[in-house]
């Protein structure tokens, strides 16, 4: 729907003598966008294992860093609590 409205807006702003050229250019751009999106989706589907593996590494690093930060804050709070007694 969005591309349809963009085409209408572009054609509305185009001078009358250039409407045929701009209409064909818009169809070419839309075809190119669909082709590019399909190719990108195919690349992602073919490399799904590597994509998953790369995100899994970042997930594991996030878990370890969260545990480290949590333990650091817990130790700091414990030392602060011990200082009051």
Coil, helix or strand at residue 47:
coil
CA distance 28 to 1: 17
Which pTM value belongs to this model? 0.46
CA distance 70 to 22: 58
> With contact defined as beta carbons under 8 Å apart, do 29 and 6 qualify?
no
- Reported confidence tier of residue 78, pLDDT bands at 50, 70, 90: low
Q: What is the pLDDT of residue 73?
A: 60
Q: For the segment 12-48, what is each residue's pLDDT rounded down to a tens digit?
A: 788 888 878 888 888 888 888 889 988 888 887 777 7
> With contact defined as beta carbons under 8 Å apart, do 60 and 48 qualify?
no
Q: What is the pLDDT of residue 84?
A: 56
Q: What is the pLDDT of residue 14?
A: 81
């Amino acid at each position: 729907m969005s591309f349809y409205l963009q085409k209408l807006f572009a054609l509305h702003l185009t001078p009358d003598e250039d409407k045929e050229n701009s209409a064909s250019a818009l169809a070419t751009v839309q075809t190119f966008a669909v082709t590019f999106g399909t190719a990108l989706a195919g690349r992602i589907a073919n490399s799904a294992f590597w994509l998953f593996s790369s995100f899994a590494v970042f997930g594991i690093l996030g878990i370890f860093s969260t545990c480290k930060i949590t333990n650091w804050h817990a130790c700091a709070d414990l030392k602060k609590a011990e200082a009051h007694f």
